[in-house]
């Protein structure tokens, strides 16, 4: 169990434990999520049930509501993260496409200059060119060129958002068993 749960109310500790399971599942750690659900949640449910003045049916309804809320929050978090990642990927791809286009254009220009002036430099000229100070080496991209700031036009290749929050139905049987054991 997490040491920070010792300072939380039993309900807040239970929420934090379930949130931890949701986050583990969101990041792809399904075994870790299952471990939290099996190893931590039952004890947290018992701790909360002991201090709750609710009837068993009300306790179950309260747990269902809490788990549904936390699962919904996890789904929202996953959707927000997927949208952010998709926009970041699209923006990065646009910037890279532009920068590569500028580099290719510059290389074509240099190759065209070489084809118009096909003199092969001597070894001494090559050595002198390599030893040139950096300020005399041509820029790869013009100074007044900036990265694309607008949204990309085509988002069809982006992965769709995927919510993966845990649903109360997946652990309802376990909760019933814990609450029955507590009675």
Question: 172 near 37, Cβ under 8 Å?
Answer: no
Rounded Cα distance between 1 and 12, Å, is 14
Examine the pLDDT at 120 and tell me if it is beyond 60: no
CB count in 10 Å sphere of residue 166 = 24
Rounded Cα distance between 81 and 75, Å, is 10
C-alpha separations of 135 from 126, 131, 139 in Å: 17, 12, 9
Examine the pLDDT at 1 and tell me if it is beyond 80: no
pLDDT above 90 covers what percent of the chain? 22
Give the residue from 77, 63, 12 showing the smallest Cα distance to 171.
63
Could you give phi then psi for residue 30, rounded to 5 degrees?
-60, -45
Question: 86 near 159, Cβ under 8 Å?
Answer: yes
Q: What is the DSSP string of 33-96?
A: HHHHHHHTHHHHHHHHHHH--S-HHHHHHHHHHHHHHHHHHHHHHHHHHHHHHHHHHHHHHHHH
Instruction: Please compute the mean of the pLDDT values over residues 139-151 and round it to a whole number.
Output: 45
Rounded Cα distance between 149 and 62, Å, is 47
pLDDT of 181 reads: 66
Examine the pLDDT at 149 and tell me if it is beyond 50: no
Whether the model pTM is above 0.85: no
């Amino acid at each position: 169990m997490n040491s920070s749960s010792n300072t939380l109310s039993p309900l807040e500790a239970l929420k934090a434990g379930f949130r931890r399971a949701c986050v583990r599942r969101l990041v792809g750690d399904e075994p870790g999520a299952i471990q939290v659900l099996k190893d931590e949640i039952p004890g947290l449910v018992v701790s909360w049930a002991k201090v709750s003045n609710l009837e068993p049916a009300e306790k179950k309804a309260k747990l269902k509501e809490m788990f549904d809320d936390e699962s919904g929050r996890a789904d929202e978090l996953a959707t927000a993260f997927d949208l952010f990642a998709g926009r970041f990927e699209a923006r990065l791809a646009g910037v890279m496409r532009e920068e590569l286009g500028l580099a290719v254009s510059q290389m074509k220009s240099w190759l065209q200059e070489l084809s118009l002036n096909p003199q092969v430099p001597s070894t001494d000229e090559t050595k002198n060119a390599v030893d040139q100070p950096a300020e005399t080496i041509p820029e790869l991209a013009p100074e007044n060129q900036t990265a694309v700031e607008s949204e990309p036009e085509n988002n069809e290749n982006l992965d769709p958002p995927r919510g993966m929050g845990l649903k109360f139905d997946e652990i309802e049987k376990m909760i019933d068993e814990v609450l029955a054991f507590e009675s």
